[in-house]
Amino acid sequence: MKKKNAKFIKYLNGVIMFLFLIFITIYIFEKTGYYEYELHKQTVLTNEAIKKFEEDVKAGKNVKVEDYLENEKINYNNSISNIGYNLSNYLGNTTRNIIKGTFEVLGNWMDA
């Protein structure tokens, strides 16, 4: 029983450290303004497209809306994205099994 508890505590510590690292990463992104910077870049691109559109209208050019919109459909199918997808599935299944095992152990402790 002691070995099971030690193994469970080892896995629990690993999960807690993993969640803590995720939290720290998200916190750093938020504090450094990474997300706001990405939004700012999109706004700048939109403003540049509006200026170009207005210039083309003033010049009397034939204007199509598609010429001023960015293609937002990006094809991410490549070997690296497939590796990321497979890794994500593996981590999701592993996390699900760890959580399931955690609740089974907790259930056994409650029954004892």
Average of per-residue pLDDT across 75-101: 88
Is residue 91, in this structure, part of any structural domain at all? yes
Domain count within the chain: 1
- Compute the distance between CA of residue 56 and CA of residue 31 in angstroms, rounded to an integer: 40
Q: Determine, yes or no, domain membership for 85.
A: yes
Per-residue pLDDT, 112 = 66
DSSP 33: T
User: Is residue 87 in a domain?
Assistant: yes
Q: Which domain holds residue 107?
A: 77-112
CB atoms within 10 A of CB 51: 10
Q: Is residue 97 part of a domain?
A: yes
In a domain, 104, yes or no: yes
The closest alpha carbon to 63, from 47, 52, 79, 74, belongs to 52
Please, which pLDDT band fits residue 21 given cuts at 50, 70 and 90?
Answer: very high
Measured CA to CA, the distance from residue 7 to residue 41 in angstroms comes to 48
Q: Tell me if 112 is assigned to some domain.
A: yes
Question: What is the C-alpha separation between 110 and 107, in angstroms, rounded?
Answer: 5
Q: What is the mean pLDDT of residues 44-59?
A: 78
Residue 11: CB partners within 8 Å, gap ≥ 6?
98, 101, 102
**What's residue 44's pLDDT?**
65
Whether 105 maps to a domain, the answer reads yes
- Which amino acid, residue 7? K
The pTM score is 0.36
> Is residue 82 in a domain?
yes
Question: What pLDDT is recorded for position 89?
Answer: 92
